Structure 1
Amino acid sequence: MRTLVENVMTTDVAAVNQNASFHTVAELLISRGVSGLPVLDDDNHVLGVVSEADLLAKEEFKERYYGDDYRPPLRARIRHTAGSEGSGYRKSLGETAGALMTSPAHTTAPDAAIVTAARLMDRHGVKRLPVVDADGRLVGIVSRRDLIKVFLRLDKDIEQQVRDALHGKAEVTVTDAVVTLTGTYAERSQAVTAIRLAENIDGVVAVHDTLDWKHDDIADLPIWGGA
């Protein structure tokens, strides 16, 4: 059985309403020891995510204009608003979570496989994903650390799951989550399938094999195409 997001996510989520003040957001980030918060509407729908980086945009633009009391001229403000730095400049003026957040949020579902969540994080360069139900309401949050937990499975549990997946047709040993397969299959394709099944078990770091086969049915397959 594949591990799902709901099996590893945190349900006690630190989140803020879109109308929460800058100060409230900063205070919650510090008190909960997190670097980002889902931003919600009044019906618990996820609108975006506000992070430490979003808050720091205010200090970044203060520093850029050499002092808290200095307000850049209209031409400079228009240039930053319209240019590539426009988003950061707009955030520097924000006073609420809704104005500061990055939107839309990248989210996942409770019944998504953890590998799907990991790919989303990698694709979008984020460290966590709000978990939402079918209506887009927040039900949890999953972080990179949560996904790594799957690699802490006991060797004996991984070994049993691999044995079950292979129906006892290969010898299985597991050390530090590395699976070793030995044995002989009737067909080469069966050995290849066994390796793939073992690799797909949650928590498996690598698969080493010395599998053999009596008949190379893969080599017997016709080669299509050609001149």
Structure 2
Amino acid sequence: MNSSPHLVRDVMTRVVVSVTPLAEFKEIVAVMNERRVTAVPVVEGEGASRVIGVVSEADLLPKEAFRDHDTGLIEQMKRLGDTLKAGSTLAQDLMTTPAVTVPPDTTLPRAARIMAERHIKRLLVVDPAGALQGIVSRTDLLKVFLRPDSELADEVRREVVGRLFPLAQHRVRVDVCHGVVTLSGGILNGSLIPVAARLARAVEGVVDVNCALTTSAAQTAGV
């Protein structure tokens, strides 16, 4: 994997099953069941690749929820969207539109914030023309935490220690265990200690940081 920040293109699923606007209800359910997914993008245009919406389980459930339930006018008005979807059979009427999309170069923290703010489980990844490139889920965003401890240690040494303490790298120790980074050793400039902790914590895949750096007047070289 590349150095931080990691991008959506690094973790997204590139082979994505999709449906057209005229896909029928049972077809959509069959696709979800076969591919074991909880949502499918709806695409159209040349090559059937431009994203116009997404159909999720939540869009399909009203048909079952209203099956044996007679709703009054007031409830129908309150749940107008669900009422309409309960009586729909095509993807173009069932889909949620516009779909929430991001470009491939979106950073993982940004993607995570969008999911949290919009209360969604996945983001469609599109190019500048709106063509489907992939899909990124919550699970995909967690893949960075699978990075080996040795890889995290190398990046912290290079991107944090190497940049903040270029003349004192030999006095700063970096240990990583189960994604938790420990920084230890003596440096001259104590104001850089919180900076080092913050930058180490920003490395993708780091779970936490224990900063045990200290200042020492006895140090005569370095930062």
**TM-score strictly above 0.5:** yes
> Conserved in 2, the CA contact under 8 Å of 1:80 and 1:89?
no
Count the aligned residue pairs. 204
- Asked whether 1:109 is paired with 2:98, we answer no
Corresponding residue of 2:116: 122
Deviations 1:21-55 (A, max 9, x none): 11111110100000111111224221111011211
Q: CA shift at 1:175, angstroms?
A: 0.3
Paired amino acid for 2:8: V
| Counterpart selection for 2:38 from 35, 38, 50 | 35
Structural mapping, 1:104-183, within 5 Å: 104-165=98-159, 166-167=161-162, 168=169, 170-183=172-185
Give the TM-score of the pair, scaled to structure 1. Answer: 0.85
Q: CA shift at 1:110, angstroms?
A: 0.4
Q: Separation in 2 of the partners of 1:163 and 1:106?
A: 37
Corresponding residue of 1:53: 58
Secondary structure of 2:13 counterpart: coil
RMSD between aligned residues: 1.6
| Counterpart selection for 1:185 from 180, 187, 206 | 187
Q: CA shift at 1:135, angstroms?
A: 1.5
| Counterpart selection for 1:8 from 3, 8, 11 | 11
Q: Separation in 2 of the partners of 1:40 and 1:80?
A: 32
Paired amino acid for 2:203: I
**Shift >6 Å, 4+ stretches:** none
Q: Separation in 1 of the partners of 2:91 and 2:145?
A: 35
Paired amino acid for 1:33: R
Secondary structure of 2:93 counterpart: helix
Corresponding residue of 2:166: none
Corresponding residue of 1:69: none
Secondary structure of 1:211 counterpart: strand
Paired amino acid for 1:117: A
Secondary structure of 2:120 counterpart: coil
Paired amino acid for 2:201: E
Q: Separation in 1 of the partners of 2:61 and 2:138?
A: 23
Q: Separation in 2 of the partners of 1:100 and 1:117?
A: 25
Paired amino acid for 1:14: V
Q: Separation in 2 of the partners of 1:187 and 1:56?
A: 60
> Conserved in 2, the CA contact under 8 Å of 1:36 and 1:49?
yes
Secondary structure of 2:128 counterpart: coil
Identity %: 39
Q: CA shift at 1:80, angstroms?
A: 4.6
Secondary structure of 2:103 counterpart: coil
Q: CA shift at 1:88, angstroms?
A: 0.4
Q: CA shift at 1:163, angstroms?
A: 0.2
> Conserved in 2, the CA contact under 8 Å of 1:110 and 1:133?
yes
- Asked whether 1:88 is paired with 2:82, we answer yes
Structure 1 unaligned blocks of 5 or more: 66-71, 216-227
Q: Separation in 2 of the partners of 1:30 and 1:204?
A: 35
